[in-house]
Amino acid sequence: METILERFSCEEDLEKKIGFRFADGGYLREALTHKSYSNEHPVETAPFNERLEFLGDAVLDLVVSDKVFRTFPELAEGELTRIRAEVVSEKSLAAVARSLGLGRCLRLGRGEQRSGGREKDSLLADALEALLGAVFCDGGLESVRPIVDRLFGEAIAFSARHKIGVDHKTRLQEVLQARHGCPPFYELVQAEGPDHQRVYTVAVLFEGECIGRGTGRTKKKAEQAAASQALGRLEK
């Protein structure tokens, strides 16, 4: 069982890694407390991190959006959206959380510990967002910015450097994979005209819903047009 000294050491190490010392340590403890722990320790009335996760998610989106907007003035909205979605995806957040050793600092219930909660992408990503929410509550937005720069700056640069100029289908798949973990599906709706002047209509579907339609002289062009329309709708 973890001792108070071990917990203090873990929290202190985490503060050093993010470069921020909490004035109110309660925010940090809340960010590191999973609901399963609170349920098993009602006497402590320990608040769990879901509220801070909600706040941190919004703060992270804002800071990353601002950074890519200012860093890449030549990029269109769709490309900025794609970079942000890739950088703040669950997989990306979990990787950053692991680099901080966040998993070992989490307060989890016994069942969650036995099921490997300290290594679950979803728990790590949520805890990282909660941590950023805690920093925002304790130190304000300007305290969050340098932390996001250190933790996500390299990922932002990599995403922009390696993905600029990709086609609409690739962009759409990356955005949907990053946000929801599922790719789109393309369906041929119609083919009209004689063979030498055939026009194709394609619908792009996501979770059974049509999110874009496009036409073209080839199926590939119609799929690109459908993906372009879907990206426009997602950006709005």
105: tokens are: 């600092």
Options 30, 53, 57, 112, the catalytic residue: 57
- Is-catalytic flag, 2? no
- Candidates 125, 121, 216, 234; CA nearest to 173 is 234
Instruction: Return the SS3 of 72.
Output: coil
| CA-to-CA separations, 194 to 100, 191, 200, 223, in angstroms, rounded | 61, 9, 11, 20
What is the C-alpha separation between 23 and 32, in angstroms, rounded? 16
The answer to whether 80 touches 70, Cβ cutoff 8 Å, is: no
Beta bridge partner(s), residue 203:
187, 213
- Is-catalytic flag, 121? no
Options 129, 138, 174, 223, the catalytic residue: 129
Sheet of strand 185-192, all strands in order from the earlier edge strand to the far edge = 185-192, 199-206, 209-216
Residue 190 backbone dihedrals phi, psi, to 5 degrees: -160, 150
Active-site positions read 57, 129
